[in-house]
Amino acid sequence: MKTLRPLSALRGSMAATLMAGATMLTPLAAQAEEEKVITAVMHSGLRVLDPVITTAHITRNHGYMVYDVLTAVDENFQPQPQMAEFAVSDDGLTYTFTLRDGLKFHDGAPVTGEDVVASLTRWGKRDSGGQMIFDVTASLEATDDKTVVWTLSEPFPPLMNVISKQSAVPPFIMPKRVAETSADETITEYVGSGPFVFETDEYEPGVSVTYSKFDGYVPRSEEASWMAGGKVVNVDKVVWTTMPDSLTAINALAAGEIDYLEQVQVDLLPILQTAPDVTVETRDPLGYVTIGRPNFLHAPFDNPKVRQAALEALSQENVLATMMGDPSYYKVCGAIFGCDTPLGDEAGAEAITSGAHPDKAKALLEEAGYDGTPIVLMAPTDVVSLSNQPVVAAQALREAGFNVDMQPMDWQTVVNRRAQQLPPAEGGWNIFFTNWMVPEISDPLINVMVNGRGDDAWFGWPSDEKIEALRSDFVAAASDAERKEVAVKIQEHVMDNVNYIHLGEYTMPQARENAIQNMIPSPVPVFWNVTKED
């Protein structure tokens, strides 16, 4: 086995436990000889197919397979043309997009400006940064089949960065008839213009999904870089299959029954050390953050002192150590915009980075008048990187005096339930834990957890006028120094108000058969440009 360790791994050895004896599976990767098929085990089963209606990573990843975007950031975080070239007027009020030749949907219809307008409009009702852009939008119109003109009432300098992001809820372009679906309802037709076709008849929700090469896709000529550049498909099909048990998935890869494993549980890595045809690597060096999100609508987390008590009760080190085991794969970090990003700063984070403080948490609960109201904590059991946080948190919260009702469920049930504003006792919730890629949280416009727009905010729905004013200040800032100053103020406010509980950073190893080559280093696992050797 060839092993490429994260940079941090050079500083320490991996603590791991060898587990063996799993029953091998019937080969899943066996396919007709004339086809090249990649069989991949992703971090979660795919159940939600609308990439605008949810921020779930598996749905976002599905979106990049099927759909395309106007512009995209490259590995240097620079917006690049994808479906369209773009130009910005000198006064910063007019953005003109010109669709490139050869664009068509999977049903054969050409992509037009009207498709773009409808798609951006729907996206702007759901996305945190998109909402702010549409606050200052004077008009968005297709002036002909290939041209879209976006006119603002006042400058919005980060516009290109926001629409080019590769984080949750990218502005995927859909046919007008699909994009006209209400932003509060899920689409029911899945036709994109991206490099792969979603095979509806082969889809088993939460179990298996098949993507076929779209022969009508015309890649850009530039080299692929993150979500930008040429998306050249070199295989006939990609099949995502679900294996909730980590040991089963690892043994399947070692036996050559699957081709790719998106997340490898760190303490099981030694199983792959004897596999001669497997490479383990970390293709996203920026990694992830893990967080806890309280529900602001219902007691007791509608009380800021109770939220502060929860923050004081938790320890980044305890959570990360339980998640990852090996310290070379995680880092205590209090910066809500990421420790290694331009806006990263740990101001006000001492409470969460210096260990658990149960006595202080108890005092805050007493001051808040907490009456023992049960805390419904949703606990996914089927995703490697999400199953440990709830267990550690539940124990810490109980030690601090919280009455915790931890409810096990699969991740897709969490994804569906977290969208419900019902009282916790009636099918709602009080807190859940999730992960984000560092690029997804690296500024106040794309970090959905600092959206304070109440019902229009991300799940948890905080109404926070102060943070909205600060986000507006960030947009209006005239220099990088001014933007950093505003970002620090947002950092301090989030730590004080506990819009969410920032629990540190980690990297996640992936593994592939050596026959799988040319995977693009990217925060998002993509399957264009990938080759499969015989």
If asked whether residues 297 and 428 sit together in one domain, one would say: yes
Tell me whether residue 411 is in a domain: yes
If asked whether residues 166 and 309 sit together in one domain, one would say: no
Tell me whether residue 403 is in a domain: yes
- Of 128, 146, 175, the last residue of a domain is 175
User: Domain total for the chain?
Assistant: 2
If asked whether residues 310 and 444 sit together in one domain, one would say: yes
Domain span at 71: 67-175
Rounded distance between C-alpha atoms, residue 285 and residue 506, angstroms: 9
Tell me whether residue 398 is in a domain: yes
Tell me whether residue 57 is in a domain: no
If asked whether residues 165 and 312 sit together in one domain, one would say: no
Tell me whether residue 419 is in a domain: yes
Is the separation of the CB atoms in 167 and 439 below 8 Å?
yes
What's the chain's Rg over C-alpha atoms?
23
If asked whether residues 307 and 160 sit together in one domain, one would say: no
Return the DSSP state at 98. E
- Of 143, 159, 175, the last residue of a domain is 175
- Of 140, 175, 210, the last residue of a domain is 175
Tell me whether residue 136 is in a domain: yes
C-alpha distances in angstroms, 405 versus 240, 373, 398, 432, 534?
33, 10, 10, 12, 51
Q: Which CATH number characterizes residue 385's domain?
A: 3.10.105.10
Pairing assessment for the beta strands 288-294 and 510-513 based on DSSP bridges: unpaired
Tell me whether residue 335 is in a domain: yes
If asked whether residues 299 and 160 sit together in one domain, one would say: no
Is the separation of the CB atoms in 16 and 3 below 8 Å?
no
Is 386 exposed, middle or buried (CB count within 10 Å of its CB: 0-12, 13-18, 19+)? buried
- Helix and strand numbers (H, E) in the chain are 14, 22
Q: Which CATH number characterizes residue 128's domain?
A: 3.90.76.10
Tell me whether residue 193 is in a domain: no
Tokens of 472: 């507006």
pLDDT tens, the chain, 534 aa long: 444 434 333 233 323 333 333 334 445 554 445 799 999 999 999 999 999 999 999 999 999 999 999 999 999 989 999 999 999 999 999 999 999 999 999 999 999 999 999 999 999 999 999 999 999 999 999 999 999 999 999 999 999 999 999 888 999 999 999 999 999 999 999 999 999 999 999 999 999 999 999 999 999 999 999 999 999 999 999 999 999 899 999 999 999 999 999 999 999 999 987 899 999 999 887 899 999 999 999 999 999 999 999 999 999 999 999 999 999 999 999 999 999 899 999 999 999 999 999 999 999 999 999 999 999 999 999 888 999 999 999 999 999 999 999 999 999 899 999 999 999 999 999 999 999 999 999 999 999 999 999 999 999 999 999 999 999 999 999 999 999 999 999 999 999 999 999 999 999 999 999 999 999 999 999 999 999 998
Rounded distance between C-alpha atoms, residue 61 and residue 166, angstroms: 10
Three-state helix/strand/coil letters over 247-316:
HHHHHHHHCCCCCEECCCCHHHHHHHHHCCCEEEECCCCCCEEEEEEECCCCCCCCCHHHHHHHHHHCCH
